[in-house]
Amino acid sequence: MEAKKVMLSGIQPSGDLHLGNYLGAIKNWADRAEEFDCYYFMADLHTITVRQDPALLRKRTITQLAQYIACGLDPEKNTLFIQSHVPAHAQLAWVLECYTMFGELSRMTQFKDKSSKHQDNINAGLFTYPSLMAADILLYQPDYVPVGEDQKQHVEITRDIAVRFNNIYGDVFKVPEPYIPKAGARVYGLTTPGDKMSKSVPEGCVFMMDDPAVIAKKFKRAVTDSDREHCVYYDRENKPGVANLMNIYSAVTGKSYEEIEREFDGQGYGVFKPAVGEAVIEMLRPIREETERILADKAYLESVYKAGAERAGRVAFKTLRKVYKKVGFVAP
């Protein structure tokens, strides 16, 4: 029998999960378990590149695990774990830092972005973050890394690091492909349709645990444009707010832009905006309810992350051992 292909991805528990995380990433993780060998984790090591509240970080990490399961990731079929529970991530990250160039790290958009936002804390971890992410990925030899558009650059540097390492030591790492969805790859903020949806602008960010009334209000207040006719058609440049709402609606319902244009022809934004909100509410409702149910069972969640770390640890250690041998470390 041919071995299953491998899929892996992670999300930082630095904030509550939002619609961008769901449509850009998680939605494409569920339902893959039969076809792929899947690894999904809470990227807690990454979060401390920016200061975190320790109690809140712990709470968000557990909530995120419950959300993964509520989104359809069955822990029996997917390996779900907390990044810091598998020491090989930090161990391989160090090795890969020595095969990552200062120049490439300097070009990373996320580094430039975060260092300009947190000028009082431009730490070494923020700079070497992509080497840790490369370690996260390469340890599991995945074929695909399902992420939103904004993480594509990090998957590309991972590929460069893997190729560089393989060129010196032979075929140690599989070179993975990013797997980016057609709709929902880049969800913009509802109040800032020029910038990606992010927790830093909460009024334009739809959190997965938001109350339906709150979600409805956020969509009603979504920024559109001054088109007097209130025409719903796709024009990313001139109608970014409408384009974003169409993209969200398309990702949620599976409808094409032409179908959406026809559906709202002559109806105006007053009908369109609440309709998108309603579709999102109905998509998120069962996930939120299921998350709350799972969160009440702390012992179950603990058993999931413990079993996950054990499974992930075995696979990761195999790659780490190979790398240590290749670079010349004496076997412990």
The residue to which tokens 């980016």 are assigned: 180
For residues 124 and 117, give the distance between their C-alpha atoms in angstroms, rounded to a whole number.
15
Amino acid sitting at position 19: L
Q: Which is nearer to ligand TYM, 43 or 287 (CB)?
A: 43
* Shortest separation between residue 132's beta carbon and ligand TYM, angstroms: 7
Minimum distance from residue 266 beta carbon to ligand TYM (Å):
30
- When asked if residue 187 is in the footprint of ligand TYM (CB under 6 A), the reply is yes
Edge-to-edge order in the sheet of strand 144-146? 78-82, 36-42, 5-11, 144-146, 177-179
32 is a contact residue toward ligand TYM (CB under 6 A): no
Shortest Cβ 150–ligand TYM spacing (Å): 5
- Residue 126 tokens read as 């923020």
Nearer to ligand TYM by C-beta: 109 or 303? 109
Residue 21 contacts ligand TYM per CB under 6 A: yes
**Residues 70-99 as x/- pattern, contact with ligand TYM by CB under 6 A:** ------------------------------
Residue least distant from ligand TYM (Cβ): 24
Smallest gap from Cβ 42 to ligand TYM, in A, equals 10
Q: Does 148 bind ligand TYM (CB under 6 A)?
A: yes
Q: Does 294 bind ligand TYM (CB under 6 A)?
A: no
Nearer to ligand TYM, 186 or 239 (CB): 186
Q: Is 228 exposed, middle or buried (0-12, 13-18, 19+ CB in 10 A)?
A: exposed
Cβ 59 vs Cβ 16: under 8 Å: no
Binding of ligand TYM by 196 (CB under 6 A) = yes
Contact with ligand TYM (CB under 6 A) among 137, 215, 248, 252: 137
Residue with smaller CB distance to ligand TYM, 206 or 275: 206
* 11 in contact with ligand TYM (CB under 6 A): yes
Nearest CA among 244, 248, 228 for reference residue 236: 244
Told to check if 10 binds ligand TYM by CB under 6 A, we report: yes
Rounded CA separation 316/136 (Å): 9
Question: What is the Cβ-side half-sphere exposure of residue 275, based on CA atoms within 13 angstroms?
Answer: 16
Site size for ligand TYM (CB under 6 A): 24
Interaction mask 114-133, ligand TYM, x per CB under 6 A: -------------------x
Q: Which of 7, 9, 157, 273 binds ligand TYM (CB under 6 A)?
A: 9
Helix, coil or strand: residue 239: coil
What are the catalytic residues? Answer: 114, 196, 199
Q: Residue 162's closest CA among 189, 140, 185, 190?
A: 140
* Under rule CB under 6 A, residue 197 binds ligand TYM: yes
Question: Angle at the Cα of 312 (from 132 to 110), degrees rounded to 5?
Answer: 25
Pick from 170, 192, 271: nearest CA to 20: 192
From the CB of 224, what's the least distance to ligand TYM, in Å?
18
40 vs 171: CA distance, rounded Å = 24
User: Of the two residues 21 and 230, which places its CB atom closer to ligand TYM in the complex?
Assistant: 21
Instruction: Give the amino acid at 123.
Output: N
User: If you search the block for the tokens 């990373």, which residue do you land on?
Assistant: 108
| Rounded CA separation 146/207 (Å) | 20
Residues found near ligand TYM in the complex (CB under 6 A): 9-12, 20-21, 24-25, 43, 46, 133, 136-137, 145, 147-148, 150-151, 154, 185-187, 196-197
